[in-house]
Each structure stands twice: as C-alpha cells, then as structure tokens.
Amino acid sequence: MIKILDYQTVDKRQIFARVEKVNSVTNTVTEILDSVKSQGDKALKYFAEKFDGVILDELKVTEEEIDKAFTLSDPEFVEVLETARDNIKEFHEKQMREGFQIQRKDGVVLGQKVLPMERIGLYVPGGTASYPSTVLMNAIPAKIAGVKELVMVTPAKKDGQVSPEILVSAKIAGVDTIYKIGGAQAVGALAYGTESIKKVDKIVGPGNAYVAEAKRQVFGKVAIDMIAGPSEILIVADANCSAVNLSADLLSQAEHDKMASAVLITTDIDLAKKVQAELEVQIEKLPRREIARASIDDNGKIIVVKDIKTAIELSNEIAPEHLELCVDNPFELLEEVKNAGSVFLGKNCPEALGDYIAGTNHTLPTNGTARFASPLSVDDFIKKTQYIYYTESALDNVKEKVELFANKEGLFAHANSVTVRKENK
C-alpha cells in the first residue's frame, strides 16, 4: 500500500528515499562490447542466439518485411501513428535554429554554422515489449534536424521477425535502415561498426540495464542522449481532484517498472486517504499488477503539504520526469515550475497524452536530472561550428593584446604566430 507522509513532521530523507535494486552488469557488458569490437557480425549473431533465442542469417530488415508489416498492422492504428507523427513534427519543427554571422566595421567576421549530425543510431527495445512510440519520439526530431542516415536497431522475436508495429512506425518516422539486433551488442555495433553496420555519431533511445551500461561505456567513442533511469511521475493536486483519476495517473507510470516512482503531493489529507484506497482497487485490475504493486509499495508516496506553494517548492527539489499540475488554474503555477522534464497542465491532461499523441517528446530526464537536463529535441541531433575571419589591419589592431595574453599563459608559440605576421609583412 502506498505511504502517506505528512511533510510537516516526516523525516525529509523519507521524501527522497527510493528503492533501487542494484544489479551490476558492468563486467558482462564490457565482455560483450569487446566481442563485438573484435568479431563484428559473428558476435552479433552469437549473442542474438544466446540472449534472444533467435538464429539470424541476415541482420538487416528487408523492404519486403516492412511492406508485410503494413499488411499485418491494424489500419486504424496506422492512422493513429500518422496523427502522432504529424503532432510530433509540428512541435519539434519549432525547435529548429539557424546560424548567425557578425560583421564588424574593422573587417572582422565571426559566425556560427548549425549542422546536422551525419549518422544516428536509434535503439528500440523489443522482445516481450513493443514501443512504436519510442520510434516516433526519437526518429522524427532527428529527421527534422537533417540527419542524413538514421539507423535503427531492435531485437527480433524468436521467429526472426520484428514487431510489425515497430516496422510500420519506423517507416512512418523516416528511419533509413533497420537491423534485427538488440542488447549491449547492438550498442557496440553502432559505436564501433561491424561488417554490416557502419558506426554512428550518436546513439539515442532507451533500453534495459545492459543497454544503459553499454551506452555509458561507449560514451566518448560516440555521443549518447542520456542514461535514463526508471520512470517517474509527480502529481500536484488540490482538494477538488478525483481520487479515481489521480490513482489512474499514478499507475500509468507504476506499471512501467518495479523501480518506477509514483508520487502525489496534495494539500488535502482526505483526498490522500481516498487515493490510497483507490490505488488498491485499480492495481488489482491491471494486467501488469505485479510490477505496479512493487512500484507503489516500494517507491510510491503521498505527501500532504500545507499549501500549493509548498507543493511546487518540493516538486522543484525532486525535479521529476513527468509533472502533472492537477489544479484549477495550472497556468498560474507554470511560471513557478523550475525543474521538470515535461509538465501536464490541468485535470484533463494525463501523462499518457505526452507519451503518445500530443506532440511533445516523451524521452525525458530522470533521477532528478531535470535540474540540468532537457527533453530529447532537435538540438540533440545537431552540432555547431564556429568560424572567424580577420583582415590584415584587423589583426594589426589586436596583435599586441594577443601577444600579451599568450605570454601571460606561458604559451610563447601562440604569441609568435601573431608576431611573425607583424615581422614578415
């Protein structure tokens, strides 16, 4: 049963306590990455059979398989995917930025170019779970940014096929190439390259503990988006909220993972008790009730505070992945929110809207990293290059300043690169 805590009296360490079952996978992942680095495709096929129980003759998904996926998919769901794509595009196209140029009177030109990354690797979980939403949320911003080649990796099922919904969403989102590999070995293939797969510039997308550790280990060889932790939802609710709705929203994240965190902050103790009771009713109806039960019992909390101002202050300290403001006038509070991955305003805006169809991105910072990190966006798929131009007279105007600066740092060759131009006119 979820815990109810009185913020005025509780030990504040309980507010931030979180049960995390540490499973060290570091050495295993290192061995997998080393094998991929040295054996290439052979290692990928070996690990596919070992971990996924599938024998792969070919790693690449064919166009015929993608076409077949459309025939196997529910046409209504395909339409939903297309609606989601359009909404995601509309939101993320607003994130596009341009370069700039400064031209000074002395002939100096300074500027910045904004360039898309060349090759992006997208990891999409597979196996027992299928998340076409992950494909859309990661692929669409990359294509808007202008990425030339977007490569997706996802594990095949035991019959050697990839979920039709995953393939359809990849086609709709503009993925260029798909490979039937998953796990740490797929991350290794994207980072180091194999006979079949060229290495990429950046790897994005969620995965299990092995995938997260693999991304951590290859960082520096390639860029990564983030090391995502278990899902989180924090709801700030006033006394006029529905306990049924609040419970449903808390469970929408609790069903993700046994280590997921579902927290309600409210000003009303009676509402807190109603939600506590309602959660017990709703959990029993869930197909994933075992997962939701562990999440609610271990990491679920209802925190009773004296006023909404305190609730927002506490929320900013927690810095949640998802923040629902279930209050009558949510826009009045929006300005006070400083740390949150994505904010859901009002009582008709469950977090699931952001997961699927609203258009905002659902790849969000977790574990309090919303204090300094941002949702996945077009910015994750671009890089910036600076440029400088000086005329001879412009260099003459600053040469003594550059020489002085360089000499103060003991970098005499730096100073000399200016001096020689002065002496060899």
**Residue found under tokens 């919303």:** 370
Tokens of 203: 């790897």
Question: Is the distance from CB of 224 to CB of 204 less than 8 angstroms?
Answer: yes
Q: Note if 322 is an active site residue.
A: yes
Long-range contacts of 223-229 (CB under 8 A, 24+ apart): 225/363, 225/376, 225/380, 226/363, 226/365, 226/369, 226/373, 226/376, 228/363, 228/366, 229/259, 229/366, 229/367
- On whether the CB atoms of residues 138 and 376 are closer than 8 A, the answer is yes
Give, in order, the Cα–Cα distances in Å from 161 to each of 87, 184, 201, 288: 29, 19, 27, 25
Is residue 62 exposed (0-12), middle (13-18) or buried (19+ Cβ within 10 Å)?
exposed
Dist CA 144 CA 412 (whole Å): 45
Q: Classify strands 322-326 and 342-345 as parallel, antiparallel or unpaired.
A: parallel
Instruction: Give the chain's count of helices (H) and strands (E).
Output: 17, 14
Which candidate in 92, 256, 322, 362 is catalytic?
322
Decide if 321 is catalytic: yes
Query: By the 8 A CB rule, do 351 and 320 touch?
Result: no
Calpha distance 246→264 (Å, rounded): 8
Both tokens assigned to 423? 């002496």
**Among residues 165, 213, 321, 324, which one is catalytic?**
321
Q: How many CA atoms lie within 13 A of 416 on its CB side?
A: 4
> Both tokens of residue 22?
């540490």
What is the spatial distance between Cα 395 and Cα 386, in angstroms, rounded to a whole number? 18
Cα distances from 50 to residues 45, 157, 159, 388, in angstroms, run 9, 13, 14, 53
Structure tokens at 273: 């008790």
Cβ 304 vs Cβ 273: under 8 Å:
no
Active site residues: 321-322
